[in-house]
């Protein structure tokens, strides 16, 4: 019997989405022992400006950015779960902890896309939610929402083939 | 047991230090970069293990590993990092690390790395 070659094509969006999804679940599971669930877009309540986003850039055969947005209360809870840090407001430790969240999520996604020869930037944390992220033409962001305890966080993936 | 923990992230140092304390390793000396780490070595200071991040200002984990080995220190060095690209891993091994701990990690994984690096290590 002749040799059969089969090529499976998976589009870039699926590759990146699956990698980022697997990574964020792994981070929450391994670092704070919590499972997070993907949810439909949360119903919009009063618009809150109290939010934080950590964003990292990726370059290589695929390029763009991946970011994680969460409310301040969620960021404080993440920090408490991670290192038992008690605070009622976003201090430098919370900022650093959110930075580490981004670092691990994007690092894990990058690891899962190793064949694409990716390099990762340092994390940038800013005090704004994912609604403040705007992207240039030809970049279509994908939003994935997760529930973490009583909180919601959003993964925003804006990547494309170089 | 004395461990040198090197990471420019205070949060990550706290995470790892807490994990080490949970494994009954209390004597953990911290440094925020390779330069600070090297300054912790002294005639009367002997580390049983070094845990170091890769990307740090002033002196990164790779440079620190090279410097530690050049000084003749033979304690195990474990790189704690998100970096897993094969070429980079090879560079780290050639510089002298003994093992890798990929972030994120859990307590069990850290314990296994410690047991592998320190055969005489007994938790508890």
- The distance of A85 to chain B (nearest Cα, Å) reads 10
* Banded pLDDT at A49 (limits 50, 70, 90): very low
Region class of B108: left (phi > 0), else alpha (psi between -120 and 50), else beta = alpha
Q: Hey, are the CB atoms on B11 and A93 less than 8 Å from each other?
A: yes
Q: Is A94 exposed, middle or buried (0-12, 13-18, 19+ CB in 10 A)?
A: buried
CA distance A45 to A71: 13
Q: Looking at domain A12-41+48-161, which CATH architecture does it have?
A: 3-Layer(aba) Sandwich (3.40)
CA distance A117 to A61: 6
In terms of Cα–Cα distance, which of B118, B115, B8 is closest to B61?
B8
DSSP A115: G
Q: Pick the range with the lowest mean pLDDT from A43-57, A106-120, B62-76.
A: A43-57
CB B29 within 8 A of CB B40: yes
Tokens of A130: 């994912």
Closest-CA residue of chain A to B57: A122
pTM attached to this predicted model: 0.87
Higher per-residue confidence, A12 vs B1: B1
Q: Average the pLDDT over B4-20 and give the result.
A: 94
pLDDT higher than 60, residue A145: yes
Closest-CA residue of chain A to B11: A97
pLDDT tens per residue across span A53-80 = 999 999 988 889 999 999 999 999 999 9
The confidence score (pLDDT) of residue B87 equals 84
Closest-CA residue of chain A to B17: A83
The confidence score (pLDDT) of residue A46 equals 42
The confidence score (pLDDT) of residue B86 equals 81
Q: Looking at domain B2-114, which CATH architecture does it have?
A: 3-Layer(aba) Sandwich (3.40)
Enumerate the residues of chain B whose CB falls inside 8 A of the CB of residue A27: 104
Enumerate the residues of chain A whose CB falls inside 8 A of the CB of residue B109: 30
CA distance A144 to A13: 13
The confidence score (pLDDT) of residue A44 equals 46
Residue ranges per structural domain of chain A: 12-41+48-161
Q: Average the pLDDT over B111-120 and give the result.
A: 87
DSSP A4: -
Enumerate the residues of chain B whose CB falls inside 8 A of the CB of residue A83: 11, 14-15, 18
Q: Hey, are the CB atoms on B104 and A27 less than 8 Å from each other?
A: yes
Higher per-residue confidence, A33 vs A8: A33
The DSSP-derived string for B66-94 is HHHHHTT--S-EEEEES---HHHHHHHHH
Residue ranges per structural domain of chain B: 2-114
Picking from A79, A84, A108, the nearest residue to B82 by CB comes out as: A108
Strands (E), chain B: 2-6, 27-31, 49-52, 77-81, 99-102
pLDDT tens per residue across span B73-111 = 999 999 998 878 888 888 999 999 999 999 999 888 998
* Banded pLDDT at B23 (limits 50, 70, 90): confident
CA distance A158 to B12: 27
**ipTM score here?**
0.84
Q: Hey, are the CB atoms on A103 and B82 less than 8 Å from each other?
A: yes
* Banded pLDDT at B62 (limits 50, 70, 90): very high
The confidence score (pLDDT) of residue A40 equals 80
**Mean pLDDT, chain A, integer:** 87
CA distance A97 to A103: 10
Tokens of A65: 């950015």
pLDDT higher than 80, residue B122: no
Enumerate the residues of chain A whose CB falls inside 8 A of the CB of residue B10: 93, 96
Q: Average the pLDDT over B18-45 and give the result.
A: 92
pLDDT higher than 90, residue A137: no
> First and final CA of chain A: distance in angstroms?
39
Q: Average the pLDDT over A139-144 and give the result.
A: 88
For the CA atoms of chain A, what is the radius of gyration? 17
pLDDT higher than 50, residue B52: yes
């Amino acid at each position: 019997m002749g040799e059969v070659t089969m090529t499976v094509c998976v589009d870039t969006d699926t590759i990146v989405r699956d990698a980022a999804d697997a990574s964020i679940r792994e981070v929450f599971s391994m670092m704070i022992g919590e499972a997070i669930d993907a949810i439909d877009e949360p119903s919009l309540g009063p618009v809150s400006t109290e939010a934080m986003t950590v964003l990292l850039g990726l370059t290589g055969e695929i390029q763009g950015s991946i970011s994680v947005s969460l409310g301040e209360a969620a960021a404080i809870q993440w920090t408490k779960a991670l290192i038992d840090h008690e605070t009622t407001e976003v201090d430098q430790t919370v900022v650093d902890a959110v930075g580490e969240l981004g670092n691990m999520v994007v690092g894990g996604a990058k690891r899962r896309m190793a064949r694409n020869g990716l390099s990762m930037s340092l994390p940038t944390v800013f005090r704004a939610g994912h609604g403040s992220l705007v992207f240039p033409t030809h970049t279509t962001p994908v939003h994935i929402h997760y529930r973490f305890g009583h909180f919601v966080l959003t993964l925003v993936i804006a990547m494309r083939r170089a | 047991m004395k461990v040198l923990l090197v990471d420019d992230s205070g949060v990550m140092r706290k995470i790892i230090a807490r994990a080490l304390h949970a494994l009954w390793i209390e004597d953990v000396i911290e440094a925020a970069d390779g330069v600070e780490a090297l300054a912790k070595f002294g005639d009367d200071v002997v580390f049983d293990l070094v845990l170091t991040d890769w990307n740090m200002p002033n002196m990164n984990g790779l440079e620190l590993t090279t410097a530690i080995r050049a000084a003749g220190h033979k304690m195990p060095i474990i790189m704690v990092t998100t970096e897993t690209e094969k070429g980079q891993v090879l560079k780290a091994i050639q510089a002298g690390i003994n093992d890798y701990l990929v972030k994120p990690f859990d307590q069990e994984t850290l314990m296994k790395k410690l047991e592998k690096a320190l055969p005489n290590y007994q938790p508890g």
